[in-house]
Amino acid sequence: MILIPGILSREDIASFRARLQAVPWQDGRRTALGMSAEVKRNQQADAGHPEVQALANTLLARFGETPLLVSAALPQRIFPPCFNRYGVGETYGLHVDGAIMRIPATSEVMRSDVSLTLALSDQDAYEGGELVIATEFGEQRVRPNAGDAVIYPSGSLHRVTPVTRGERLAAICWIQSLVADTQLRQTLFALDQSIQGLVGNEGVSRQQLDGLHHVYHNLIRQFASV
Ligand code: NI
């Protein structure tokens, strides 16, 4: 699980919240299939509404301008972001996201490799509503700050605990990565972050950095499917 801070500014968040208040909301079970529908208790903004689509497009642009997200997810395709909210008592029980998703209003399908949750509510605006992700080292729990996102492998089991006070508003989406293999993608991310950490370090020459960039890009060339 990787935290991606500061995707939206305070002004952006205020604008998103105000605009989302004015759009139609639906029962979240409408878009859940099979077993997920049984455990999903939330609401989602009508994805067919022009205002919701405009907000989704704004987010897509921001994702592309966020180097940490690009480095961690290596996006090839991104499902149009959806907006959901959980009032008191609402929750999303343990489930796994669908592997193949049809992109709305098209005949195209994509594979979900990386799941993203972007918080739009301040942490103190609600209680409960933790995103809990099962990992091989046990459960990880997170409540990101408004404007921050978390990403995690779409193949992980995860849930959202019941909201006990206030309201939890968030955007979610799925990313098909250029590198489908989670472990390989994480290793490439670690290499890229290590290289970025050396930039500006006086003890590292330009030639050494070029050598590392060369290795990174050749690994991407070898393993990315486009
Ligand atoms: Ni999910």
Q: How far is the CA of 167 from the centre of ligand 1 (A)?
A: 18
How many angstroms does the Cα of residue 9 sit away from the middle of ligand 1?
25
Q: Are 3 and 133 in contact (CB under 8 A)?
A: no
The predicted-structure confidence for 22-39, as pLDDT tens digits, reads as follows 999 999 888 776 777 788
- The CA–CA distances, whole Å, from 22 to 15, 62, 125 equal 11, 22, 19
Which tens digit of pLDDT belongs to each residue from 151-167?
A: 999 999 999 999 999 99
Q: How far is the CA of 121 from the centre of ligand 1 (A)?
A: 18
Q: How many CA atoms lie within 13 A of 54 on its CB side?
A: 8
Predicted TM-score (pTM) of the model is: 0.94
Domain 2-177 = CATH 2.60.120.620:
yes
Residue 82: pLDDT band (50, 70, 90) is very high
Q: One-letter amino acid identity for 151? A: I
What lies within 8 Å, CB to CB, of 96 at 6+ separation is: 154, 155, 156, 157, 158
